[in-house]
């Protein structure tokens, strides 16, 4: 830079400074007003749901059908079942769609939700490395598989986040009379994360883990992992839908929320769920009982 004088241009500094400020202001204003980021229509509901459904891609498949039919936009907040129910208890959602029946029933019993409906199910499966160090492949009994894993002390990745999958896994250990939690930090790894993150950890650590089939089939980072145990009735994974009680939270959009629940259990909704397939394989099986 030259020592002095050369910096002066015909445009006065004050004017140029103002030009810069105006340009910056205009940019911010444009960003704030720009369309696209926010849907203008007010007709929407918030569904507190689980990462397992979101990660499987089911919502992307069925929600456009519902929105087309009713004009109601569905905004999905995907967290673990535990957090989804907690958020709904705070009134931060209109509908919950989760998978931990005992927790759902308590949610309804405590008055936070109205009627609970079975919506669909799929299966949990135990996945693990192809080398299968604990030798659980093709076992028909989940208890036996867990016993073998515990005995061999091969790594097992648990969600550890109070989600529906975590609850189901805890129940399996309980049925097998194994206190896996005692070995937490040893061979029992609690990730405290969502299903996908836990699968990533399991693959990285060559650890067995319990996952819902939907997330597994749509998961892209499988490495050499395989489904090793499936088909045990204990691995049944039921999803339920509940409208949040508008009496507890007046902000709940009862009509639109109920419309979504009704659609899910209607023949249209059930057919939509059944039609979602990855590589020709159906991920969720509708099992609503109309009128029940």
Partner 1 sequence: MTDFINAFKTALGLIVTLNPGLVEILFLSLKVSLSAVAIASVLGFAIGGTLAVYRFPGRGAVVAVLGALMGLPPVVAGLLVYLLLSNAGPLGVLQLLYTPTAMIIAQVVLVTPIIAALSCQACEDLLEEYDEQLRSLGASPRAIVLTLLWDGRYRLTSAVLAGFGRAIAEVGAVMIVGGNIDHVTRTMTTAIALETSKGNIALALALGIVLLATAVAVNAALMSVRRLALRLAYA
Partner 2 sequence: MLDPTHPLNGLGTAFGSARAPLPVELRALNYEASGKLVIDNANLKIETRGITAIMGPNGAGKSVLLRLMHGLIAPTGGEILWGGRQMDRELSRRQAMVFQKPVLLRRSVAANIRHALGLRGVGRKERAIRVDDALKLAALERHASTPARVLSGGEQQRLCLARALSLEPELLFLDEPTASLDPASTLAIEKLLIDAQRRSIKIIVVTHDVGQARRLAQDVIFMHHGRIIEHGYADSFFDTPRSEGARAYLAGGLVL
Where along the sequence are the contacts to partner 1 (CB under 8 A)? Answer: 7, 13, 16-17, 20, 24, 28, 31-32, 34, 36-39, 46, 51, 54-55, 59-60, 75-78, 87, 89-92, 193-197, 199-200, 218-222, 249, 251
Pick the closer one to partner 1 by CB: 84 or 119: 84
Alpha-carbon Rg for the chain in angstroms: 25
Nearer to partner 1, 160 or 194 (CB): 194
- Cα angle 95, 100, 106 (rounded to 5 degrees) comes to 75
Which of 71, 93, 61, 120 is CA-nearest to residue 259? 71
Structure tokens at 15: 């004017």
Neighbours of 40 (CB within 10 A): 6
The yes or no reply on residue 292 touching partner 2 (CB under 8 A) is: no
Distance, CA of 265 to chain centre: 20
Instruction: Tell me the closest approach of the beta carbon of residue 72 to partner 2, in angstroms.
Output: 57
Smallest gap, in angstroms, from Cβ of residue 186 to partner 1? 25
The one among 3, 31, 131, 280 contacting partner 2 by CB under 8 A: 3
DSSP 8-class letter at 283 = -
Q: Least Å distance between CB 280 and partner 1? A: 20
**Residue 173 or 245: which CB sits closer to partner 1?**
245
Q: Which stretch binds partner 2 (CB under 8 A): 1-9, 99-107, 211-219, 235-243?
A: 1-9
| Window of 2-10, 204-212, 219-227, 259-267 that interacts with partner 2 by CB under 8 A | 2-10
Q: Which of 11, 13, 151, 174 binds partner 2 (CB under 8 A)?
A: 13
Residues comprising the chain, all counted:
292
Q: What whole-number distance in Å separates Cα of residue 269 and Cα of residue 119?
A: 9
Q: How far apart are CA 269 and CA 288, in angstroms?
A: 10
CB 17 to partner 1: min, Å? 5
Determine the Cα–Cα distance for residues 78 and 80; give it in Å rounded to an integer. 7
Which region among 4-12, 37-45, 163-171, 242-250 touches partner 2 (by CB under 8 A)? 4-12
Select from 260, 242, 253, 258 the least CA-distant residue to 66.
260
Smallest separation (angstroms) from partner 2 to the CB of 7: 7
What is the dihedral angle through the alpha carbons of 191, 197, 201, 202, rounded to the nearest 10 degrees?
100
Return residues touching partner 2 (CB under 8 A): 3-5, 7-8, 12-13
């Amino acid at each position: 830079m030259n020592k002095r004088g050369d910096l002066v241009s015909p445009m006065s500094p004050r004017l140029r400074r103002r030009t810069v400020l105006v340009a910056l202001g205009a940019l911010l204003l444009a960003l704030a007003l720009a369309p696209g980021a926010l849907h203008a229509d007010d007709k929407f509901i918030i569904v507190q749901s689980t990462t397992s459904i979101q990660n499987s891609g089911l919502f992307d498949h069925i929600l456009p059908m519902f929105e087309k039919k009713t004009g109601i936009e569905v905004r999905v907040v995907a967290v673990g079942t535990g957090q989804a129910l907690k958020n709904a208890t705070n009134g931060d959602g209109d509908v919950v769609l989760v998978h931990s029946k005992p927790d759902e029933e308590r949610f309804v019993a405590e008055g936070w939700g109205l009627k609970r409906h079975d919506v669909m199910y799929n299966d949990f499966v135990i996945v693990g490395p192809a080398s299968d160090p604990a030798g659980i492949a093709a076992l028909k009994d989940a208890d036996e598989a867990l016993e073998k894993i515990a005995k061999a002390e091969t790594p097992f990745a648990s969600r550890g986040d109070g989600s529906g999958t975590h609850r189901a896994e805890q129940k399996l250990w309980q049925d097998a009379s194994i206190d896996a939690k005692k070995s937490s930090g040893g061979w029992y790894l609690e990730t405290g994360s969502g299903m996908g993150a836990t699968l990533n950890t399991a693959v990285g650590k060559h650890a067995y883990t319990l996952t819902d089939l939907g997330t597994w089939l749509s998961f892209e980072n499988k490495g050499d992992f395989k489904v090793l145990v499936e088909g045990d009735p204990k691995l049944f994974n039921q999803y339920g839908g509940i409208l949040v009680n508008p009496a507890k939270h007046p902000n709940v959009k009862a009509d639109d929320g109920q419309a979504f629940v009704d659609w899910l259990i209607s023949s249209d909704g059930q057919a939509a769920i059944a039609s979602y397939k990855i590589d020709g394989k159906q991920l969720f099986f509708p099992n609503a009982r109309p009128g029940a």
